[in-house]
């Protein structure tokens, strides 16, 4: 019979106790993914292309970028540093998911005042286009502030029937209708700090009803 406990066994035991205690570890975050869809090099390559396209399309113009928090934060930081144009940056935040994996259907703006986009070429940045409700509501709201032009850029777009008809002018990647996390995208506010994008294991997403 073997009596010695190895360091690896101690770590595994500590992780099991931590999980039992309701603590999520970085290792378990990674383990909760079914598969990785886009790793860091793939994301970086696509950001180079997107930024090149945007810089070219808006050549000799000045942009106002409106980033939708919190999901677009990491995408925004990495994309904007690749765009070679003068630009202004503002942020908006909305509540549409209430922490779960399914939309509530209602989009609530957290800010009382809108960013100043009057007569500006405006580019809305968001993490993902799913039902389309969030971006449709944001676009409609910003249009009331009379921008010179308005376009939408998303990191991800799900191939699905949308509740609202929204066209994204710039799309990082088209994906299947699966729940993804990482690189800014969350599930109940976690996983945003994973440097890649992956599909969350289905059994972790408890659908209401």
Q: Whose Cβ is closer to Mg ion: residue 78's or residue 186's?
A: 186
| Residue 102 lies near Mg ion (rule: CB under 5 A) | no
| Residue 47 lies near ligand IMP (rule: CB under 6 A) | no
| Residue 125 lies near ligand IMP (rule: CB under 6 A) | no
Strand, coil or helix: 79: helix
If we measure between CA atoms, which residue out of 187, 192, 6 comes closest to residue 102? 187
| Residue 127 lies near ligand IMP (rule: CB under 6 A) | yes
In the DSSP assignment, the letter for residue 155 is E
Q: Whose Cβ is closer to Mg ion: residue 54's or residue 166's?
A: 166
| Torsions phi, psi for 150 (to 5 deg) | -145, 130
| Residue 90 lies near Mg ion (rule: CB under 5 A) | no
User: Looking up tokens 């209401």, which residue turns up?
Assistant: 208
Q: Whose Cβ is closer to ligand IMP: residue 115's or residue 132's?
A: 132
Per the CB < 8 A criterion, the answer to whether 111 and 118 are in contact is no
- 179, 183, 194, 198: which one contacts ligand IMP (CB under 6 A)? 179
The span from the CA of 117 to the CA of 143, in Å, is 9
56-115 positions binding ligand IMP, by CB under 6 A: 71, 96-97, 103
179-208 positions binding Mg ion, by CB under 5 A: 186
CB of 187: closest distance to Mg ion in angstroms? 8
User: Looking up tokens 């690896």, which residue turns up?
Assistant: 8
**Structure-token pair, residue 27:** 């290792």
Beta strands in 39-185 (DSSP E): 63-69, 87-95, 108-109, 121-129, 149-158, 170-175, 180-181
Q: How many angstroms separate the most distant Cα atoms in the chain?
A: 78
Q: Which residues are catalytic?
A: 130
CB of 70: closest distance to Mg ion in angstroms? 7
Q: Whose Cβ is closer to ligand IMP: residue 58's or residue 75's?
A: 75
| Torsions phi, psi for 82 (to 5 deg) | -100, -10
Annotate each residue in 106-145 with x if it binds Mg ion (CB under 5 A) or - if it does not, as one string: ----------------------------------------
Which positions lie near ligand IMP, rule CB under 6 A? Answer: 71, 96-97, 103, 126-134, 179-181, 185-186
Which positions lie near Mg ion, rule CB under 5 A? Answer: 97, 186
């Amino acid at each position: 019979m073997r009596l010695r406990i190895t360091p690896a066994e101690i770590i595994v035991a500590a992780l099991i106790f931590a999980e039992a205690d309701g603590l999520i570890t970085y290792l378990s975050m990674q383990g909760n993914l079914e598969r990785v869809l886009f790793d860091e090099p793939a994301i970086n390559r696509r950001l180079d292309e997107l930024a090149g396209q945007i810089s070219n399309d808006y050549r000799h113009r000045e942009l106002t970028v409106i980033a939708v928090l919190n999901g677009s934060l990491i995408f925004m930081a990495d994309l904007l540093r690749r765009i070679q144009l003068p630009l202004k940056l503002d942020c908006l935040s909305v509540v549409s998911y209430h922490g779960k994996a399914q939309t509530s259907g209602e989009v609530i703006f957290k800010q009382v005042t809108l960013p100043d986009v009057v007569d500006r070429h405006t580019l809305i940045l968001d993490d993902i286009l799913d039902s389309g409700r969030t971006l449709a509501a944001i676009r409609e709201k910003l249009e009331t502030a009379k921008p010179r032009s308005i376009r939408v850029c998303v990191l991800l777009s799900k191939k699905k029937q949308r509740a609202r008809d929204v066209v994204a002018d710039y799309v990082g990647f088209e994906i299947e209708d699966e729940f993804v996390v990482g690189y800014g995208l969350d599930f109940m506010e976690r996983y945003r700090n994973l440097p890649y994008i992956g599909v969350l294991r289905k059994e972790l997403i408890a659908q209401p009803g």
